[in-house]
Amino acid sequence: MVDTVSEAGRTPEAIQPWAELGLKEDEYSRIREILGRRPTSCELAMYSVMWSEHCSYKSSKIHLTRFGVLDETTPRGPLLAGIGEQAGVVDIGDGWAVTFKIESHNHPSYVEPHQGAATGVGGIVRDILAMGARPIGVLDPLRFGPLEAPDTARVLPGVVSGIGGYGNCLGLPTIGGEVVFDETYAGNPLVNALCVGVLRHEDLKRAAATGVGNQVILYGATTGGDGIGGASILASETFTEGGPTKRPSVQVGDPFMEKLLIECTLELFEAGIIQGIQDFGAAGLSCATSELASSGSGGMHVNLNTVPLRDPSLAPEEILMSESQERMMAVVKPEDVDQFMAICTKWDVLAAVVGEVIEGDRLYIDWNGERVVDVDPKTVAHEGPTYDRPLTRPAWIDQVNADAAEVLPRPSTGEELAQELVKVITSPNLADVSWVTQQYDHVVRGNSAMAQPQDAGMLRIDEETGLGVALSTDCNARFTYLNPHQGAQISLAEAYRNVAIVGAEPVAITDCLNFGSPEDPEIMWQFVEAIKGLVEGCQALGTPVTGGNVSFYNKTGEVAILPTPTIGMLGVIDDIDDRVSTGFSREGEVIFLIGKTREELSGSAWAGVIHNHLGGNPPAVDFEHHKNLTAFFQTVSKTRLISSAHDLSDGGLGVALLESCFIGGKGAEIELEGDPFVALFSESTGRVLITCDEFQAGAVQALAGEYSLPITKIGVTTDGSELVIRDLFTLNIDEVRTEWKSTIPRALGLL
């Protein structure tokens, strides 16, 4: 028997599984208060998923409003769309705009690594598509448990194959990301996915149902039982007895269907017949209908019997909750429906009219001629619970901060320095990740100007002018653990730096805030401090937050992940031919170090790898210095004064030197000033290695002076196969590179 609205009115005492669906008692009571009766089973399902942490941001939204103080103007102009839209949109000049966003698919990627990661890519791609843009590239910051842990051998290859398989089939280059290992991610890997798309200003689309009488069309894949409850704690038991008792909680992706959906949608945009559009993401049809209706100027009436199903046994609650992939919902004028259907037929994309825009402010959903949903869509989509959860500065943090790495035993001879440098660079978090990145296509579509192992990915936007964008994703969770406010700023600064040194102007960010349980006051303190740090940093740098994602409840047992606020930075470069590459590729060039090196070793890779130590205070961040870096690199890239640049971050100068040798294929001879240990392993922020022709050295130094940038000549590039640190040690580059490249495949049993 279908639980209808009229039945709900007649049976207020009926027992409902609100707790099993993840609702609190007061939330269930609030739903009854809103409706003036008990909810139907379909309404209960809708509210439970839309009011989940993942969909409603109920523990974070009061803190996310802090981003509202940021000026929504980038160095290239005002945002065309910002927080609250499906993705942020940035004006990059000449009538072009770029939309980009990062989201998480963490828990599904642990349960089923391949499909969890694949559908994470598919979901973020559709968010970009729904803004009216053609998706053009992907970045994937990944975090796993210890590399040697048995379960990592299951999760890591599955996640990588999911990302590569889905993105490659879509014809989207994967141009950047991270691969990080830490014991806190065991049982809770982080799979964050960023997509970037391009559009003309006039092509921008919104998610709103407007125009009474306009038709609501569901198009793309059929609706099945996969993904039900993927965004919430949807009960494993169905709402009716005798039906299937379990549905898979991880969605199943079909990248070939998504590719057809992309091309079909872009042709629909070109035809000018879409009045509003919404991606099907978390919460499926519940989300698409309620968000479109609540953001529009009217209500909506939907008939579930018209939804194309691949499983005819689905109950109406399951149709509403299904998170089957590769689906979109569009609002279309009646006179344009035939053309819409014709275009879908051309691309072999299934489409069906499932409803229409109506007068008023109600969302009505029918099933078998009975009304199963009668709600104000705003109460479902935008007026869920808001929690101002307690937050407490952890009592343990003072003790951790007092345990500084600067007092740990240090190498005292050149031989010991060399041994520890090799141990650091061949450790899992600094080793070569080409086993991962080679499974991704990074040149498809022919517009990739830079990709891993470069410091930032870069894509051409306009073939005629060379206009392009650069992107980087970064996060130092170790520093964020020591000081969430400062650690978030370090992550922001690193992403900013990586985009700036390739010659692009950083303009805006998207963030994916991955934390433990919001019900833990200490975790909430970490979360709020990180947001405060990002707000201050973005204000100082002039890079607004365009949107992003919050992922809570990342913990295994009682162990929360390291606080991981991943930053995606977007930069604009006027001509990609002016880009600056990573690596020593020319012999006889001068090597300069820009920035000051301080004795800042707490939270460093050296402390973690050599001493398994995490304590002390993270390095300081100077945002004015970073803005000067951007101005400097804008000039040297356009005037071609330098031939390479490489950011110093994890591992410090020693690691950056070896990476530059590995990537560019040349050696180097270096003379260090001061304490060689501090010089090699400090992780002071705001530092960059650059190389230039010796005849340009004076001009480079003078220009650095104009921008108040400390600059020190530290050596020259050589045609040899050695990294020579004068008077201390010499490393054979080929031998170290071999070890560096083997760390990950050896741990996975592939060597």
- Residue 220 CB neighbours (<10 A): 26
Quote the Cα angle for 387-229-12, to 5°.
70
Tell the burial category of 445 from Cβ atoms under 10 Å away from its Cβ (0-12, 13-18, 19+).
Answer: middle
Whether 258 contacts 344, CB under 8 Å: no
Whether 247 contacts 288, CB under 8 Å: no
- Give the sign of the dihedral formed by CA 674, CA 680, CA 682, CA 683: positive
* Active-site residue flag, 201: no
Q: How far apart are CA 149 and CA 650, in angstroms?
A: 22
DSSP alpha helices (H): ranges in 134-247? 152-170
With b meaning 16 or more CB within 10 Å and e meaning fewer, what string describes 99-121? bbbbbbbbbbbbebbbbbbbbbb
With b meaning 16 or more CB within 10 Å and e meaning fewer, what string describes 397-428? beebeeebbeebebbeeeeebbebbbebbbbb
HSE-CB at 651 with a 13 A cutoff on CA atoms is 21
Distances from the Cα of 440 to the Cαs of 79, 437, 512, 651, in angstroms?
31, 5, 22, 26
Q: Which residue has the tokens 């509403």?
A: 320
Q: How far apart are CA 559 and CA 187, in angstroms?
A: 10
With b meaning 16 or more CB within 10 Å and e meaning fewer, what string describes 566-579? bbbbbbbbbebebb
- Residue 133 CB neighbours (<10 A): 26
DSSP alpha helices (H): ranges in 453-520? 477-482, 484-500
Residue among 422, 418, 471 at smallest CA distance from 442? 471
Distance spanning both ends of the chain, measured CA to CA: 59
Residue 355's φ and ψ, nearest 5 degrees, are: 180, -170
Checking 91-94 for CB contacts under 8 A at 24+ apart, the result is: 91/201, 92/461, 92/467, 92/469, 92/507, 92/572, 93/467, 93/572, 93/574, 94/462, 94/465, 94/467
Whether 563 contacts 530, CB under 8 Å: yes
State the catalytic residue, choosing from 54, 301, 442, 646.
54
* Active-site residue flag, 54: yes
Torsion of CA 576, 577, 580, 585, to 10 degrees: 140
Distances from the Cα of 47 to the Cαs of 39, 41, 103, 324, in angstroms?
9, 10, 22, 19
Whether 401 contacts 616, CB under 8 Å: yes
DSSP alpha helices (H): ranges in 388-440? 397-402, 414-425, 434-437
Checking 150-154 for CB contacts under 8 A at 24+ apart, the result is: 151/186, 151/187, 152/181, 152/186, 152/747, 153/747, 153/748, 153/749, 154/113
The strand pair at 363-367 and 448-450 is best described as unpaired
Length of the chain: 751
Look at residue 202 and give its three-state secondary structure.
helix
Q: How far apart are CA 474 and CA 654, in angstroms?
A: 20
For the record, the structure tokens of 357 come out as 């825009």
Whether 724 contacts 408, CB under 8 Å: no
Residue 403's φ and ψ, nearest 5 degrees, are: -90, 70
Q: How far is CA 426 from the centre of its chain?
A: 26
Q: How far apart are CA 121 and CA 138, in angstroms?
A: 8
State the catalytic residue, choosing from 63, 105, 114, 301.
105
- Residue 241 CB neighbours (<10 A): 7
Residues acting as catalytic residues: 54, 105
